[in-house]
Structure 1
Amino acid sequence: MSTATAEPQGTTSLGEDRTPVLTARGLTKKFVSRSSLGFKKGEVTAVDNIDLDLYRGETYGLVGESGSGKSTTGRLLQGLIIPTEGTITLDGEELDATDKKGSKHLRRDIQMIFQDPHSSLNPRRRIRQILEEALLIVGERDKKVIKERIRESLEAVGFNEEHAERFPHEFSGGQRQRIGIARALMVSPKVLICDEPVSALDVSIQAQVLNLLRKLQRERGLTYLFISHDMSVVRYLADRVGVMLKGKLVEQNTADELYNNPQHEYTQELLSSVPIEHPSQRGQK
């Protein structure tokens, strides 16, 4: 991805606060495959005993090929999937994915931006209804509070109140992804899990969305888990990078160190597959 029109990389709060906001230990997810008659055929380990720390204000890039387990990891951290083993801790409190009521006040602090901005928005609902649902789920009933939060969230992604009465099909793909971001912001989260948020967008629109994410991070002190297969996008955005292969976290380091001095053979292969930006760079490491 070309980021020629993107803003220069800004300074995050990484280093100012080295306290993990979100921690996973021994995180494992196994899926059971069954026959058409319901008999167990086998077991697939999608995420295999990974340890992960997300520090306040940083962007952690999680990369790997399709099927490596990176999206499953994001869904485990967000509570969409119950882990087979392991623990997830947010600001020192352990999250229990089976306790929907008890962990609701914690779960609102972890929100997700999905890959497909079209299928992630209900086509039969107006934008106002889509956004207010996020607050209704966490128990907010004050109409004035909801209206003001909708206005704030829309303005944060470049829209105004008039857009709240439109339907998703009236927006372009990039605009719909901005609405997805606005929905995630409705409950003032601490962590955003971004699951391939720009892979379905044109290159020029990708840069706009990435710049928006950086702007929101600076303004709100957000922590990002940025899941992607695009090494160029991750290099632009991430402070640290983790590489997944067959469910395992095989390497993690600061972005500069990982891109300039990759240690694992698989990381080296991923980096070698990134297209060069100019023919004069051929042959250069």
Structure 2
Amino acid sequence: MNVPFRYIQRQTIVHRLHPFTKMIYVLLTLLLILIPLYDIRHLPVLLIWLGLSAALWAAARIEVGRFAALLKILAGTFIFLMLAQGFTYRHGKTVLIKFGDLHFGGSNVGELTLEGVQLGFMLSVRILTAASSLPLLVMTTSNAELMAAMNQLRLPKVMTFMFVSALSFTSLIFEMWNNIVDAQKLRAFDIDRMDPITRLRRAYVPIITPLILLLFRKANDFQIALETKGFGSPGRPTEIQTLQMKPIDFLAIGIFVAVFILCNLLRFRL
């Protein structure tokens, strides 16, 4: 089974971009979603940026299944947000479903309102916009390139290591989870065939327990590897490759900034 959000070594235009260029793209994505975009009329602003992200995913030749895995992870959060906002939004006037009068905190939680569902939908799109940018950085940039780029920024070595290790551990957890699930299936413990109640009651303990133990063992291996390679020694670390900004990087940055300005102008106009 493919592990989602792991570095994929390919020779695409996105892979050849400087890590700084892709970091700027992630930074602009975060700045865009931090802007208050709650009204449904602002949906085109997010859709334009999502279109840019989709174009980058396609240019990097990343499989659709990896994006589907991202949607599968976030689907539960999106449903919860739309239902929670639909039942608790104070300014909702258009009632979709009414279960009764249950007033709590200034709102009737017994009514599902259209305005609340729209607010939850906008929050979900904002989360999806943010979540589609960081995996693109991880899947098209190797750890060596990330560390070299952060060293060029003169960031502390500990901070660089923590950032890169956090990205590596994400894919490592997925891989260990899949291996443990497959091993449990060989022991006739198939989590995929269990109903939701049985899964919550008895399925996750036999998987999470060995996962935690394996992560502790892997962390110990990392510690030994770091001490062997002299991590923490004084002096600036050497680099295997020196990263240089190319004309395509400046062109990509110009496109990112232009789309960002377009989204903000459209937001003010709407």
TM-score for both structures, normalised by structure 2: 0.26
Greater Rg over alpha carbons, structure:
2
Q: Which has the higher strand share?
A: 1
Q: Which has the higher helix share?
A: 2
Larger relative contact order (Cα-Cα within 8 Å, sequence gap ≥ 6):
2
Q: TM-score, normalised by structure 1?
A: 0.25
